[in-house]
Amino acid sequence: MGIAERVTSGDIRAVARLIRDIDDKVPGAREVLKDLYPSTGRAYVVGITGAPGVGKSTLVDQMLTHLRKAGKTVGVLAVDPTSPFSGGAILGDRVRMQRHSMDEGVFIRSMATRGYFGGLTQSTRSAIDVLDAMGKDYVIVETVGVGQDEIDIVQSAHTTLIVLVPGMGDDIQALKAGILEVGDIFVVNKADREGADRTVNDLRLMVEMDEKRYKNAWKPPILTAQAVFDKGVQEILDEIEKHRTYLTSSPERGSTLQYEKVKHDLTEMIRDQIINKVLADIVNSGEFEEALQSIMKRELDPYTACDTIVLQKLKSGTK
Amino acid sequence: MDQKRKIRVLVAKPGLDGHDRGARIIARTYRDAGFEVVYSGLHQTPEEVVQAAIQEDVDMIGLSSLAGAHMYLFPRVVELLKEKGADDIVVCGGGIFPEEDIPKLKEAGIKEIFTPGTPLREVVKWVEENVKPRSS
């Protein structure tokens, strides 16, 4: 049996190894992904993001329990940051979800961000495809909401949850222009803590101020939860279902969304490959090193150098 | 761009032992050595450890035990890996063990045993020399 077939038949080892190959950029993995693509597009993808310590993993753990009770199978991708100094990472999200590890209907995988050239967005997207092709009903992607990569990842989800905790106060305003804009559902976790009402109000105000944007569109609900006590978790899942219904209820909306998603994914993929191939060519060339030396001596400015190099590259093509 | 594989390690504490300071220090040390370390937390059954190792596709499992049940727990992990056809995953252990248990553990398939006082540098060096990231 080929790897693709083993994946679609739910072979855990094959799935685990394929995701590793994707992460390590083994060329063969791409071939398998090509074969798997027709089997994808069935899973519902939920992205969960928020600052470290807000309770994302605990929430995922509780969601797993509820979804499993409802007879759904779930794949989880938990992304943690790579140390920029050593290139290593401690992937600890699993600690909170370990009680599901013996459940055949759950597949949990930790992934590291692997730095700027790690291609996290691409490898996560491919890993989502693998879990989708494996036959999981839901794929939950958990990331620390700090960088653009992380925002991109949750944006490739059907429904994006932003998890916050009380006490962030004015920080919400600061965050507004970033990650908060991609949320389909807001969750104020640890809602038994002081200031929960205030956080809910701040969020509500933020959503209300964007009224134009939400006219005739999905308006993000703001929910409270205490994930560790399983409070508010079912309500979160209900909202996810509502959002799903919203996305799929109108065929027009459905196909527009799909068009945008496919377009976004393909654009990213092309961009990644151009960066990887063309940039590597340039950086490894002698002219690049020469230009660097000249710029350091102030004999050449970086703007001219950039124009010259890019123009030359476009003319000559890649090897 | 970069096709070098990273070493992936699972650090786990099997059994009812709640002392995870050592395991955490080891996890941190491995991270600083450039490995990707999956930490699965306390109170794991050997079955859970093996399942996590397979799902995470790790090259090595580092088991920590300070509570005396290592003679059952450690060999059981090796046994289960064999059953699942995943015995290419290297298993080593760290913690407090009676001297006479160490050769028995090695005989049961635990590749190396680290006891208190082992310099962290040596623990990393051992991994670099004995654990190769999967090649195919």
User: What does the pLDDT average to over A214-225?
Assistant: 89
Is residue A174 domain-resident?
A: yes
Distance of CA A280 to the CA centre of its chain: 26
- Euclidean distance between the first and final Cα of chain A, in Å? 35
User: Does the pLDDT at position A188 exceed 50?
Assistant: yes
The pLDDT score that the predictor gives to residue A143 is 87
| Cβ-Cβ contacts under 8 Å, B35 against chain A | 88
**Rounded to the nearest 5°, which phi and psi values hold at B3?**
-105, 15
Comparing CA positions, the residue from A174, A130, A125, A195 lying closest to residue A154 is A125
Is residue A19 domain-resident?
A: no
| Cβ-Cβ contacts under 8 Å, A85 against chain B | 32
Tell whether A237 and A263 lie within a shared domain: no
A236 and A59 Cβ atoms separated by less than 8 Å: yes
Question: Inter-chain contact B37–A91, Cβ cutoff 8 Å?
Answer: yes
Specify the CATH number for the domain of residue A82. Answer: 3.40.50.300
The pLDDT score that the predictor gives to residue B29 is 94
- The residue with greater pLDDT, B60 or A27, is B60
B85 touches chain A (CB under 8 A): yes
The average confidence (pLDDT) of chain A is 88
The pLDDT score that the predictor gives to residue A176 is 57
Of A47-51, B22-26, B100-104, B131-135, minimum mean pLDDT range: B131-135
The pLDDT score that the predictor gives to residue B42 is 86
What is the extent of the structural domain holding A316?
250-319
What are the C-alpha distances in Å from A4 to residues A1, A14, A109, A155, B56? Answer: 8, 8, 18, 26, 18
User: What does the pLDDT average to over A8-21?
Assistant: 94
The pLDDT score that the predictor gives to residue A278 is 85
Which domains are present in chain B? Answer: 8-130 (3.40.50.280)
Is residue A17 domain-resident?
A: no
Angle at B56 between CA A9 and CA A237, to 5 degrees: 75
Is residue A294 domain-resident?
A: yes
User: Does the pLDDT at position A146 exceed 50?
Assistant: yes
**Rounded to the nearest 5°, which phi and psi values hold at A92?**
-110, 5
What are the C-alpha distances in Å from A117 to residues A123, A268, A279? Answer: 11, 14, 11
- Measure in Å the smallest separation between the Cα of A12 and chain B Cα atoms: 7
Q: Where residue B2 falls among pLDDT bands split at 50, 70, 90?
A: very low
User: Does the pLDDT at position A155 exceed 80?
Assistant: no
Tell whether A199 and A280 lie within a shared domain: no
How many C-alpha atoms does A47 have within 13 Å on its Cβ side? 26
Mark out the alpha helices in B33-112 (DSSP H runs).
Answer: 46-56, 70-83, 101-107
For chain A, how many structural domains are there in total? 2
The pLDDT score that the predictor gives to residue A275 is 82
User: Does the pLDDT at position A11 exceed 50?
Assistant: yes
Of A38-47, A114-123, B112-121, minimum mean pLDDT range: A114-123
The average confidence (pLDDT) of chain B is 91
- The residue with greater pLDDT, B100 or A148, is B100
The pLDDT score that the predictor gives to residue B1 is 37
The pLDDT score that the predictor gives to residue A101 is 86
Beta bridge partners of A107: A75
Comparing CA positions, the residue from B21, B27, B54 lying closest to residue B39 is B27
Domain boundary among the residues A249, A274, A299 is at: A249
